[in-house]
Amino acid sequence: MAVTHLDNARMAGVSRTSIKVPWVSFIKYALLLLLAFMFVLPLLWMVSSALKIDDQVYRVPPIWFPVPAHPENFYNAWNRYNFSLFAFNSVVRYAIPSTILVTLSSAIVAYGFSRLHWVGRNLLFGLCLATIMIPAQVTLVPLFITFKQLGWLNSYQPLVIPGMFGSPWFIFLLRQFFMTIPQELSDAARIDGASELGILTRVIMPLSVPSLIAVALFQFLATWNDYLGPLVYINNQQLFPLALGIGLLRRALSETGTTGLVYPYLMAVSALVTVPILFLYFFAQRRFIEGITTTGMKG
């Protein structure tokens, strides 16, 4: 609350200095509207194209509001392949288990890096942060070989199991938050005989719900959007997540050319896959913004 007041005061301070020159704020709004227009345009194109039939797709000049619109495309595109199954795979097989595992394990590790004082803690935490720099592609080949030997190809194990071991970004984010919780709360719980795990689950985590939600949101997004991971490990169409399903529609594009509603279907499914993210963003806008500003991680 205090922060909000401070922000308001700051903004008021800014407006006092900038409103002195009206044309400055005119240019500012003109620029903002222009930028916003350019940023929205591709998404508008996606939705409008999803509502077209072939004849409307190839019209010059382009049509932005197709009349008549063809909302049945959404239904037909979704059932062109078994997208309900792909959505099930994305959410139940991948996003949910991965999100739960990564959030819990990162919280446990973050606790060790923030609420306990021990020799070598900072050294290991430095190492943990340094691993953020290692690109996933560097470990891709040996991990693929290992998972192949384990017989884990064509399953979600290679994508979900590593989440049991925390993720450096999330450990960092949660640690930053855990550090701000007064040590006295832990001390009081210890006197009451709580174990460290008990303190984590009954004191620290209930106080850190916003950061835990931020972590869960980021992981859910990462798995929902993941393309490279499933591309490498999953070949069986019955196991495809949404991203690979969209890949199937795209392949139709190169095989059958540009007829048969290929573009409208591709846009329709793209829009349907984007809608849950839109909801997620609007319901949890603050969590997103806070998470990004704490870590500097960009979506």
Torsions phi, psi of 298, nearest 5?
Answer: -105, 80
Quote the least distance from Cβ 265 to other proteins, whole Å.
10
Quote the least distance from Cβ 103 to other proteins, whole Å.
12
Quote the least distance from Cβ 68 to other proteins, whole Å.
19
In which residue are the tokens 């993941």 written?
Answer: 226
For the chain, the C-alpha Rg in angstroms (whole number) is 24
Site map for other proteins, 22-61, x if CB under 8 A?
A: --x---xx-xx--xx-xxxxxx-xx--x-------xxxxx
Per-residue CA distances from 287 to 11, 257, 294 (Å): 22, 43, 11
In which residue are the tokens 């997540």 written?
Answer: 241
Q: Does 70 bind other proteins (CB under 8 A)?
A: no
Site map for other proteins, 213-242, x if CB under 8 A?
A: --------x--xx-xx---x---------x
Q: Could you say which residues in the range 262-281 bind other proteins, by CB under 8 A?
A: 263, 266-267, 270, 273-274, 277-278, 281
Q: Does 299 bind other proteins (CB under 8 A)?
A: yes
CA distance 57 to 258: 10
The token duo for 118 is 């021990």
134 vs 179, beta carbon nearer other proteins: 134
AA identity, residue 280 = L
Q: Does 202 bind other proteins (CB under 8 A)?
A: no
CA distance 157 to 180: 35
Q: Does 95 bind other proteins (CB under 8 A)?
A: no
Q: Does 17 bind other proteins (CB under 8 A)?
A: yes
The token duo for 287 is 């969590």
CA distance 211 to 175: 10
User: Alpha-carbon dihedral of residues 155, 158, 164, 169, nearest 10 degrees?
Assistant: -130
* Stretch of 73-81, 91-99, 120-128, 203-211 lying at the interface with other proteins (CB under 8 A): 120-128
| Position among 134, 150, 179, 209 found at the interface with other proteins (CB under 8 A) | 134
60 vs 67, beta carbon nearer other proteins: 60
